[in-house]
Amino acid sequence: MIEESKTPSRMRYLIPLFLFLIMAGFLLKGLFMDPRHIPSVLINKPAPEFNLPTLYDPEKTVSKESMKGKVWLLNVWASWCGACRAEHQVLNTIAGMKIVDIVGLDYKDEAVDGKRWLKQLGNPYTEVLVDKSGRTGIDFGVYGVPESFLIDGEGVIRHKFTGPLYYPDIKGTLIPLLEKIKEGAK
Amino acid sequence: MKTVKLAIFIGLFFISGLAGAAALSSYTFADQEEEQAFRELTAKIRCLVCQNQSLADSDAELANDLRREVYALWKEKKSEDEIVDFLVSRYGDFVLYDPPLKPSTYILWFGPFFLFLLGGYILSRTLKSKTEDKEVELTNEDQQRLKTLLDDDNENQEATK
């Protein structure tokens, strides 16, 4: 009688340990999560409207409407942004692969600095737009450069890269997404 | 030396307060009340760059821009809800320090109450079983066993004497 009632009560003392392990599991996961990475609310939603002058010809403007029918990568960068420098080589590589049009958005930057940057590091962009006030950046929910948005032919944002693009992102994320968009368009 | 350190500390303390106040100094308001209301609204919004600072306090570039946008909407006499919607539709619920009540945040809002009730239930059950334990009546068999055990003990004690 006594032995029998002992076993379940002993197990009961282990409950706090299990609860602790569950909590520790969540906390351990939290250690590897980046609080700076805020999920975008704009994924699978139409890109915000914009109409911006280009860097090399301020008279010419590019709008969301004029990009319709194209799959393109909007890359938000600035000459004052350190991480963008590292990312630039990746962008050059993507441009060389000719898999997607990359449109640059020179964010809160001086035109002179932006032009010098592209002269030094190469220009992977089919078009460079200028967002001097940062207003378009706000519409895209930009909170730190660099950020990149993959936009499909319908003008819908399909993916957001927060922070710099790395070489593994090309094969790991960008190419599969481009294939998916192509399949969907058929 | 101690007084100097204290003076520096107090000085810095007040300067840090001024930094927060300076963030709104470039905007004009009709009266103190309006300024207070604007400050309260921006205090509810998180600066996305320095996440533990509100839009009212932060001096980050983006916070400046967002404050400018919020001020423009404010001057257009937009309601607080409209201004909050403007920010949430671009940056998500994360811009709000106070998460809205919706299915994905139920666990956040109701989780603590659930745990509280669960704890209360476990506590009451434990207390109840403890009091019940005391009232256990011994069967004849138990009495018999107890007696032999006690007798054994007595015999042992006598043996050691």
Does A164 have pLDDT greater than 70?
yes
- Choosing from B100, B122, B143, the residue where a domain stops is B100
Question: Which A positions 120-159 lie with beta carbon below 8 A of chain B?
Answer: 133-135, 137-141, 143-144
Same domain? B33 vs B51? yes
Q: Please state which of the ranges A163-172, A177-186, B7-16 shows the lowest mean pLDDT.
A: B7-16
The alpha carbon of residue A96 is apart from the nearest alpha carbon of chain B, in Å, by 32
Taking the CA of residue B43 and the nearest CA in chain A, the distance in Å comes to 18
Band of the pLDDT at B160, cuts 50, 70, 90?
low
Say yes or no: A20 contacts chain B, CB-CB below 8 A: no
Same domain, B71 and B134: no
Which of B61, B69, B90 lies closest to A141 in CB terms?
B90
pLDDT at A155 over 70: yes
Q: Do B95 and B112 share a domain, yes or no?
A: no
On the question of pLDDT at A94 being above 50, the answer is: yes
Nearest CA in chain A to B47: A143
Number of domains making up chain B = 2
CA distances (Å), B80 to each of B23, B63, B72, B87, B90, in order?
20, 18, 13, 11, 16
Q: Are residues B93 and B23 in the same domain?
A: yes
CB atoms within 10 A of CB A99: 15
**Mutation for testing the B interface, residue in A37, A40, A41 having most B CBs under 10 Å:** A41
Whether the Cβ atoms of residue A102 and residue A73 lie closer than 8 Å to each other: yes
The per-residue pLDDT of chain A, averaged, comes to 92
Contact (CB<8Å) B90/A39: no
B9 with B74, same domain? Answer: yes
A167 or B140, higher pLDDT: A167
* A42 interfacial to chain B (CB closer than 8 Å): yes
φ, ψ at A148 (rounded to 5°): -135, 140
**Residue B18 confidence (pLDDT):** 53
Are residue B62 and residue B91 in the same domain, yes or no? yes
pLDDT at residue B141 above 80? Answer: yes
Contacts of B48 in chain A (CB under 8 A): 38, 143-144
Domain boundary among B72, B100, B128: B100
Q: pLDDT class for B23, splitting at 50, 70, 90?
A: low
pLDDT in tens, B85-103: 999 999 999 999 988 899 9
Q: Does one domain contain both B69 and B112?
A: no
Q: Which domain holds residue B122?
A: 107-160
pLDDT tens digit sequence for A53-87: 999 999 999 999 999 999 999 999 999 999 999 99
3-state secondary structure of A129: strand
Interface touch B92/A40, C-beta < 8 Å: yes
Judge if B147 and B90 occupy the same domain. no
Q: Are residues B123 and B54 in the same domain?
A: no
| Nearest residue to B57 via CA among B78, B43, B70, B44 | B43
Q: Which residue has the higher pLDDT, A145 or B18?
A: A145
Based on the fold, state whether residues B44 and B68 are members of the same structural domain.
yes
Alpha carbon distance B50, B32 (integer Å): 27
Residues of chain A with C-beta less than 8 angstroms from the C-beta of B64? none
In eight-state DSSP terms, residue A111 is H
Q: Which residue has the higher pLDDT, B27 or B79?
A: B79
Final residue before a domain boundary, out of B100, B120, B146: B100
Reduce the DSSP state of residue B125 to 3 states and report it.
helix
Alpha carbon separation from A164 to A84, B55, B99 (Å, rounded): 7, 25, 29
Rounded Cα distance between B158 and A48, Å, is 95
CATH code at position B84? 1.10.8.640
Q: What percent of chain A has pLDDT over 90?
A: 84
Average pLDDT (B39-43) is 93
pLDDT tens digits, A165-181:
999 999 999 999 999 99
Mean pLDDT score of chain B: 85
Q: List helix spans (H) across chain B.
A: 2-22, 32-43, 61-75, 80-91, 106-134, 140-160
Pairing mode, strands A101-107 and A72-77: parallel
Residues B68 and B91 placed together within one structural domain of the fold: yes
Q: Flag the least confident range among A46-50, B137-141, B143-147.
A: B137-141
What would the two tokens of residue B6 be?
Answer: 């204290």
* A35-39, A62-66, A146-150, B44-48, range with the lowest pLDDT: A35-39
Q: Are B7 and B44 within one domain?
A: yes
- The whole-number pLDDT of residue A2 equals 47
State pTM to two decimals: 0.76
Length of chain B, in residues: 161
Which site among A19, A76, A138 would you substitute to test the B interface, given the most B Cβ atoms closer than 10 Å to its Cβ? A138
Question: Residue A93: what pLDDT?
Answer: 97
Residues of B in contact with A40 (CB under 8 A): 92
- State whether A143 and B49 contact (CB < 8 Å): yes
